[in-house]
Amino acid sequence: MPDIRIVLIAGARPNFMKIAPLMRVLSDDPAFDPILVHTGQHYDQNMSGQFFSDLRIPEPRYHLEAGGGSHAVQTAEIMKRIEPLLLAEKPRAVLVVGDVNSTVACALVAKKLGIEVIHAEAGLRSFDRSMPEEINRIVTDSISDLLLVTEESGRENLLREGVKESAIHLVGNLMIDSLRSHLDQALKSDIAQRIGMAGGKFGLVTLHRPANVDDPAQLAEITGALEAIGADLELYWPLHPRTQSRLKENGLVLSQRIHLIDPLGYMDFLWMQANASVILTDSGGVQEESTVLRVPCLTLRDNTERPVTITRGSNRLAGTRRETILTAWKDLLAHPITGEIPPLWDGKAGERCLAVLRRHFVG
């Protein structure tokens, strides 16, 4: 019987692509007993449910159904619900991924119970503490026992913050494992027909960060830039529920060149990314995926915690004002970029994570 019980936490849409390769390698290794927990931070079918079927992730053993609310309410609710589960299961470790509220909530509870914490995608820093995700990253890394890193900047950040080198492991990017293993299937998607695309070139938009969508003036700046870009290139925008609410609240009506569509499942969204001429996003994961797909990406932020997507990849910072976004767009038209794929983003990060865990727990 396996004796190394590890609880893996998934809470929000970006987590699922990182959890899938870990569940696969841990389930295949007889030394480990992986227990998947879905906190319910994203809880509608399009935002989470379909991702489980698309990525062939097994049904979670536990579903906490924590739901939404403010950052404080959501984090507290997840902490309340994960504690009795950990007390009952008595795992050797809790493995958290990314930088969402589920990440920091479950890491805090585990650490206070004396359970080891493993953080996958550790060390990323935007150096902007106004971002809730940055706080989650810093706190989680500060209490983690094993830190699994996607890019060299993460290792350097952790060393600078005083993390011992023996706890840091550069393993590559789990999201890219999922992308590479599902890309061929995703390219067979019929999403273009289902949403009535006429064919030809198009751009893909995603927008969800509170700093971009909650401030009416900033949202107006970004949509103003999208309107101008839409005159050159038709845009398709799968609307995050948060963003949809803000557009309605602020009375922002967009031109017919910007097609607002429902949130997409993983396969459909991957098809859209792979076939887009440009991606405009404020998502960290999309910056990484577009880099591997070698699709030009304009990040609608003033910073990024994933600098390798700029130094090596196809990403560039466009800022959040109409003027800066359009300047980046015109520069992209004049100087197209495809970049290169960063080291260890080769689809084998899951295997390297397993090797680290075996050394740590088995010896």
Q: Does domain 4-172+345-361 have CATH number 3.40.50.2000?
A: yes
Per-domain residue ranges for the chain? 4-172+345-361, 184-334
Same fold across 4-172+345-361 and 184-334: yes
119 has catalytic annotation: no
Catalytic residue among 42, 182, 208, 360: 208
Q: What is the pTM of this model?
A: 0.94
- Residue 119 CA to residue 138 CA, distance in Å, equals 11
- Residue 318 CA to residue 291 CA, distance in Å, equals 16
Q: What sign for the dihedral angle of Cα 19, 243, 192, 289? A: negative
Q: Name the residue type at position 114.
A: G
Give the pLDDT of the chain (363 residues) as one tens digit per residue: 568 999 999 988 889 999 999 999 999 999 999 999 999 876 554 445 567 778 888 889 999 988 778 889 999 999 999 999 999 999 999 999 999 999 999 999 999 999 999 999 999 999 999 999 999 999 999 999 999 999 999 999 999 999 999 999 999 999 999 999 999 999 999 999 999 998 899 999 999 888 899 999 999 999 999 999 999 999 999 997 778 888 988 888 899 999 999 999 999 999 999 999 999 999 999 999 999 999 999 999 999 999 999 999 999 999 999 999 999 999 999 999 889 999 999 999 999 999 999 999 998
User: 184-334 has which CATH code?
Assistant: 3.40.50.2000
Residue 8: closest CA among 75, 65, 82, 73: 82
In the three-class reduction of DSSP (H, G, I as helix; E, B as strand; rest coil), residue 201 is classed as coil
